[in-house]
Amino acid sequence: MAWKEAVLDAFDVFGPMSLFVLSFTEAIVQPVPPDLLYIPMLADAMGDTPRVLLLWAVVTIASVLGAVVGYWLGQHWGSALMKRFGQERHLEKLGVLTERYGTWGIFIAAFSPIPYKVLGWMAGMGEMEKRAFILAGLAGRGLRFGAEAVLIGLYGDRALEAIVWVLDNEILLALLLMATGGLAWLAWRWWSQLDGAAQPPTA
């Protein structure tokens, strides 16, 4: 979309600082994911391990710091934010997720494609324990962005060769596609069933 390209052009000026600002603001309110800037930066830094680690640290820490701001906003204006940005549909499921699984629920949401800003707002609205919120966010966001850093920044060429090899082996490709489709279906079914009254986690 043209507006996203305009936002990315505006941010892609000051290197890691631009990435910090984009990741920080995305975790609070704006809709452009940091991956759109982070992935090209990783590709440019391919093979330069210190640079890759720097980018990973920047995008992760900025995202969690932004979520802490979102937590504070949620304490004061949570319901209004949910309505303003049309995120009410996530609220009940995220509530069940965190009540049913506790800190693990926060980790799942931080690692997943669920809008991270919504998690921050909701955590503030529900007065979640802030230390657990921050630690789970660091773990979840760190793993999510770390996976991209490893695949693209550290093993870009080898990952590409592996992809080409899989594409050349049609049977293996078919099995992987079937497995991926099955996992995606199970994940969608699990997420769709996260409604109703929250149940306490089993011992």
d(CA 134, CA 33): 20
Q: pLDDT at position 15, please? A: 74
Q: pLDDT at position 95, please? A: 65
126: nearest Cα among 103, 104, 99, 145? 99
Q: How far is CA 18 from the centre of its chain?
A: 18
Neighbours of 53 (CB within 10 A): 15
Tell me the average confidence (pLDDT) per consecutive run of 10 residues in the chain, 203 residues long: 54 76 88 84 84 93 93 78 63 67 68 71 78 86 89 75 65 71 67 54 40
Q: pLDDT at position 198, please? A: 43
Q: pLDDT at position 63, please? A: 93
Are 170 and 60 spatial neighbours (Cβ–Cβ below 8 Å)? no
Q: pLDDT at position 137, please? A: 86
